[in-house]
Amino acid sequence: MRRSLLSLSSYLHRLHFSSSSSSSSIPILYSFLQPSIFPLRQPHPIKPTSTSSPTPPPSPSPSPQTQASLESSLLSSLHSHQTDEAWRCFKSLSSLALLPSSPSLSDSLISHLASLSDRLSLKRAFAAAIYLLERSPLSVSIDTFSGLFRAFAGSNTLPPALALFRAMLKNRRFPAFTIWGPVVVQMAEKNDAGFRAFLPVFEENCRVALDERMDCMRPDLEFCNRVLDGCCKILGSVSDAEKVLEVMSSLDLSPDLNSFGSLAYLYALTGNEQRIDELHKLLDALRYSNKMVFFTNLISGYVKSGAFELVPSIVLRAVQEQREDESNIFNQNTYIEIANCFINNGKTKELASLIIQAQELEAFSKCTVPNCSVGYGLMNACVELGHLDKAHNMLDEMSAEGASIGLGVYSCILRAYCKEQRTAEAAQLVAEINAAGLQLDSTDFDALIDASMTCQDFQSAFSLFREMREATLPDLKTSYLTIMTGLTENNRPELMASFLDSVVDDPRIQIATHDWNSIIHAFCKIGQLEYAKRTYRRMVSLRFEPNSQTYLSLINGYTSAEKYFNVLMLWTELRRNGGEFDRALIDAFLCALVKGGFFDAAMQVVEKANELKIFVDKWRHKQAFMEKHKKLSVAKLRRKNYRKMEALVAFKNWAGFNT
């Protein structure tokens, strides 16, 4: 019997390139498939045939053994990841008008091809899915289709995704909207051509969902709003937006604030003031208390259309309608849109005027957080756009007009100066802030002090910290640590000591032993041992408890300068006061005392180590002795100082010189 069914390639050719296909989708989809899957066939002229030619005999039907063999090879190829061989087996089946006898085999083939990252494999997956849909719609699982849609999204190939969905509807495979909708619209939103191609498919899905009563195919309100937003912002089309609203109505979905926001953008973009007024009235009638989504979209539409003269009235209306629980009426993107539009059109004076008017309205509002004001948002947007100097010029214009400038307006410019380490301009601005009777907060002071320390302007940092303390701000820790760290890194222990001494009585600063240790260590590091000693005495007099690190810094400093007598005095003091010892401290004392020739004290350290059961590396201290006292004669020492001789003998016996 002659086979009447078409092979895979010819079937797809007829399906997607027939005259019934839309003229716009044909070249796009063909560019995806061609030439790897099949070539576009050109019509051949029909040659006259002789009436006497015999009719060819029908082709024999393929045997079950042939199908089983091909399916076995296909399965084996998939397991061994031999993609080309698997595809050859599938094409052989299709050329014989056969389908895989097991749906799982079809799923495995498409899933395998879709999982690969190359474009050829994705083309093959699409071709196989379409062929199987037309031949046996239930031979491929919904999960497999879902994976294929995700693969299309991963490779950003919208046309085959839309074609696959249409084929599923044609063959009455009705997937849940979540299977295809989110991943497809993500691709469609990237350009207007893609979104225009997506819209009729979306409408068709919703029609089928209603006709077939398939609730799983119905998009929710959030997704409909996303499609509506695309019509408004990607296409800028009133007619398309109205079609989506009709679809929403047919699905019994009522527009919400996000829907009205998208429409506000569209009507502002197209200059339809009548529709905007209608939306205002509708929002009031529906008693929406928070209209900020509506206002931000309206502003974006005006900015996009270039009608920036209409923006101030919207901003001021938003300020008037600001609720008490709203700390910030607009987001940063909206402020950047406004600032960019005004500055690019040379309207800095108008922008400054808007800030003044907004501040006057905010003065009567309970939402007075400086960093959430309109002035702060717009000035900060100017700074973010790289217009710091223009922002300061606007500030000067506002001051010249006698306007009352809020702290938030100053604050963002001040922080920008600090970030750019323009400390001179920052200092001038601080003077202006003080003259205006405003008070900087801890964050502003922190930024100023950090900038000063970065520029090594230590005196400015000290002055700012003093102002910070006088302003009775509760949080001084960050700036205190910034100053101490900066002075440490720049090896300025004398300034550290002076600074610490000036703030030691302030209860807002929690000074601890490690602060003093940092100063002592820094003095010892640069060899200023007398200052290290004074700092140590000052520390003790203020009842700060020295610890092991305190003594280690002093011992290492004295040892480096070969002032071993000072180590002896420190050991005597610590021993008399019953100080605590650890292994590092024992080692440091013993090494220094051995090098200094104070063997009696060295043996006291050994006794303390034995008492505390602390292990001591004798070899290290034997080496220290050899380094300093290699030629020391016991006999000569016996004649001069018998007691020292005894201590020397005891040390040598302990260290193992006589073994």
User: pLDDT tens-digit profile of 202-220?
Assistant: 999 999 999 999 999 999 9
The pLDDT tens digits for 300-316 are 999 999 998 999 999 99
Examine the pLDDT at 244 and tell me if it is beyond 70. yes
Examine the pLDDT at 171 and tell me if it is beyond 90. yes
- In DSSP notation, 311-323 reads HHHHHHHHHHT--
Residue 488's nearest CA partner among 514, 451, 460 is: 514
Residue 173's nearest CA partner among 140, 128, 137, 205 is: 137
The pLDDT tens digits for 115-131 are 997 899 999 999 999 99
Would you say 265 and 300 are in contact if contact means Cβ atoms under 8 Å apart? yes
**Is the pTM of the predicted complex or chain greater than 0.75?**
no
Q: State which fold the 1-40+69-173 domain adopts.
A: 1.25.40
Count of CB atoms situated within 10 Å of the CB of 189: 17
The SS3 call for residue 42 is coil
Q: Which residues contact 57 (CB under 8 A, 6 or more apart)?
A: none
Long-range contacts of 248-251 (CB under 8 A, 24+ apart): 248/221, 248/224, 250/206, 250/210, 251/206, 251/209, 251/210, 251/218, 251/219, 251/224
What confidence score (pLDDT) does residue 595 get? 86
Q: Which residues contact 555 (CB under 8 A, 6 or more apart)?
A: 567, 570, 585, 588, 589, 592
In the block, residue with structure tokens 């799923």: 107
Examine the pLDDT at 451 and tell me if it is beyond 60. yes
Q: Which residues contact 44 (CB under 8 A, 6 or more apart)?
A: none
The mean pLDDT value for 272-300 works out to 92
The pLDDT tens digits for 500-535 are 988 888 888 888 899 899 999 999 988 899 999 999
The pLDDT tens digits for 551-601 are 999 999 998 888 989 999 999 988 888 878 888 998 888 888 888 888 888
Q: Which residues contact 261 (CB under 8 A, 6 or more apart)?
A: 293, 294, 296, 297, 298
The mean pLDDT value for 100-129 works out to 92
What confidence score (pLDDT) does residue 271 get? 94
Residue 72's nearest CA partner among 102, 48, 94, 40 is: 102
Every domain range in the chain assigned CATH 1.25.40 = 1-40+69-173
The pLDDT tens digits for 556-566 are 999 888 898 99
Helix axes 25-33, 158-170, angle to 10 degrees: 110
CA distances from 537 to 323, 527, 530, 554, 587 (A): 59, 17, 11, 12, 24
The mean pLDDT value for 338-365 works out to 89
Examine the pLDDT at 154 and tell me if it is beyond 90. yes
Which token pair is 209?
Answer: 């969902």
Rounded to whole angstroms, how far apart are CA atoms 267 and 237?
10
Examine the pLDDT at 253 and tell me if it is beyond 80. yes
Rounded to whole angstroms, how far apart are CA atoms 180 and 150?
8
> Mean of the per-residue pLDDT values for the chain?
84
Rounded to whole angstroms, how far apart are CA atoms 317 and 295?
9
In the block, residue with structure tokens 């895979």: 8
Phi, then psi, of 94 in degrees rounded to 5 = -65, -35
